[in-house]
A = this chain, B = another copy of it.
Amino acid sequence: MIVLLLSLQLNVLKMDSLLSNIKIAVPDKIYIKDPESSDLGKRIIEHSIILIDEIGFDSFTFKKLGVRIGSNESSIYRYFESKHKLLLYLTSRYWAWVEYQLVFATHNVPDDNTKLTKAIEVITRTIKEDVTFTHINEVVLNRIVINEYSKSYLTKEVDSENKEGYFVLYKRLIRRLSEMITKVNKDYQFPSSLASTIVEGALHQHFLKSHFISITDCNDKVTPTKFFINLTQNVLNIKTNGSK
């Protein structure tokens, strides 16, 4: 596992203490050659995100990406053995980034309930701006996750790929949320299912508000965040106090 530094605007000290806690990493078997290790690799990541967003993962090919970045199909294959692995890589980085944001937003928050609420906010919000100034555009990557993430695990190879560790980031984020739920209400019987429902459900509600508005209440004003915070508060029997 290679530790992957996310360049957020933090001072070094804070970053260090956070990183020692969470170790953001992408399982190294996902790629053949680390795309962060070269200029071409970074261009592959940057433009694959843009291309997949534009034409959809199904129509996306390494050949088209090659044309886009002025490079050769065969060169891209030296980094990723298939477009499926590329998707796995991109979405892993997304979940790693969300986990980082979650740890950052919730550390040093003393009240467990406020902490949970902040966690749900981070997980369910619409990403509006490209926070980091790297080759990865989080706004676009978020759209890809909404539109394509399910395809990365709805395969006949899930079980073997799960064993290889390709979904650790996703699962760890959900487990983190699950633990926060349990801290707020020790007697609640389904913390993991609630957590996985929030993470998956948020993606789904974001999708619905763009394509199936008749089966969601979410829109630009009523956000998935509001829906899931309200839901969680009710499910865990939290008395809403006046404070936001």
Query: Is B211 in contact with A153, judged by CB distance below 8 angstroms?
Result: yes
Total identical chains: 2
The residue of chain B having its C-beta at the shortest distance from the C-beta of A58 within the complex is B155
Whole-angstrom distance between the alpha carbons of A153 and B231 in the complex? Answer: 26
Q: Is the CB of A205 within 8 A of B197?
A: yes
> Is A184 close to B, CB under 8 A?
no
Q: Measured between alpha carbons, how far is A29 from B153 in the docked complex, in Å?
A: 30
Near B by CB (< 8 A), chain A positions 144-194 give 147-148, 150-151, 153-156, 158-159, 162, 167, 171, 174-175, 178, 189-194
Q: Mark A45-70, 1 if CB is under 8 A from B, else 0.
A: 00000000001101100000000000
- Nearest CB of B to A156, in Å: 4
Tell me which of B167, B222, B234 contacts A234 (CB under 8 A).
B234
Measured between beta carbons, the chain B residues less than 8 angstroms from A207 are: 153-154
Q: Is A237 an interface residue (CB 8 A)?
A: yes
Which residues from 184 to 230 on chain A have a C-beta closer than 8 Å to any C-beta of chain B? 189-197, 200-201, 204-205, 207-208, 211-212, 214-218, 222, 224, 227, 230
- Report yes or no: A191 in contact with B217, Cβ–Cβ below 8 A: yes
Which residues from B are CB-within-8-Å of A150?
Answer: 150-151, 154
* A175 contacts across to B, CB distance below 8 A: 214-215
The list of the 6 closest CB pairs from A to B, nearest first, reads A56-B156, A150-B150, A174-B215, A234-B235, A190-B217, A193-B217
5 of the cross-chain contacts (CB-CB < 8 Å) are: A175-B214, A189-B222, A193-B205, A196-B208, A197-B231
